[in-house]
Chains A and B, each alone.
Chain A
Amino acid sequence: SQKIEQNSEALNIQEGKTATLTCNYTNYSPAYLQWYRQDPGRGPVFLLLIRENEKEKRKERLKVTFDTTLKQSLFHITASQPADSATYLCALEGGSNTGKLIFGQGTTLQVKP
C-alpha cells in the first residue's frame, strides 16, 4: 500500500532563514502531490499542488519540488516568519477524478524571532 513519510521531528529555525520540509513516498506513482498547512485545532489549508510532469512550482515565498525518480517532494519557505509556524502536511492523490487524499503525518515548523 502507499506510504508517505515526513520528518516526524519538529523543525526549529530562526526568522529569516529558509525552511525545508521533506516528503518521501513509496509504492505509488501519484499524478500530483499537494502541501497543506494546519494550525492547532483547525482544518488543513491548501497551499500548493504540483503535478508529476512539473519539477518545481512557486507561490510567493513558497516553493515545491517534485522528483518522481526519487519519489520525493521538498517544500521550501524562504524568508520565514514566526507566522509560518504550523504543521505542514504532504498529501498524495488517492486516485484520479476523486477527492481522496493520502496524507503524511506532517512536520511541525517553529520559526523563532
Chain B
Amino acid sequence: KAGVTQTPRYLIKTRGQQVTLSCSPISGHRSVSWYQQTPGQGLQFLFEYFSETQRNKGNFPGRFSGRQFSNSRSEMNVSTLELGDSALYLCASGGLAEETQYFGPGTRLLVL
C-alpha cells in the first residue's frame, strides 16, 4: 500500500498570503489528522477529519482551517500568514482502530 502523501513538500510564502496544503491518506483510511511541528512547540494537533466531518480541533486560531473530501483526501488552509506559521505541517491517517497514526513526509512552510 502506498503511504501518506503530502503536497507540496516545500513552500515559501510572504506574510499576509494564504496557503493550501494537501494530504492523501493511505487507501482505506478514513481519518486524517493535521499537526504543526516547530522547534519550540514540538508537534501540536491542529484538527482531525473523519468521513468529511471535523471530529477534533486543537487550540489554533480560526486562520487555520481544513476539510476532507469524499475520497478521504484532505486539505488544510492557513489564511493571513504570519512569520510564526513557519513550520513543518504533518498529515497523518488512521486505520480502523485509529490508534496508530501513519504520518506523511510533511510540508515545510517558510513565511517571509
Residues of A within 8 A of B (CB): 32, 34, 36, 41-46, 49, 89, 93-95, 97-106
Contact = CB atoms under 8 A, between A and B. Distances in A.
Given A42-B106, A44-B90, A93-B99, A99 B50 contact: yes
Interface in B54-112: 55-56, 58, 90, 92-94, 98-106, 108
Contacts of A100: 33, 45, 48, 56, 58
Given A98-B48, A98-B56, A103-B43, A46 B101 contact: yes
Nearest to B43: A103
Contacts of B33: 99-101
Say which size band chain B's interface belongs to: 20 to 34
Given A43-B105, A99-B94, A106 B42 contact: yes
Chain A's interface: helix, strand, loop or mixed, by majority? loop
Given A99-B31, A100-B33, A89 B43 contact: yes
Given A89-B43, A93-B99, A102-B45, 11 more contacts: A34-B99, A41-B108, A42-B105, A43-B104, A44-B101, A45-B103, A46-B100, A97-B98, A99-B32, A100-B56, A101-B101
A44 B43 contact: yes
Contacts of A94: 45, 56
A37 to B, nearest CB: 11
A42 B42 CA distance: 14
Contacts of A41: 105-106, 108
A93 B45 CA distance: 11
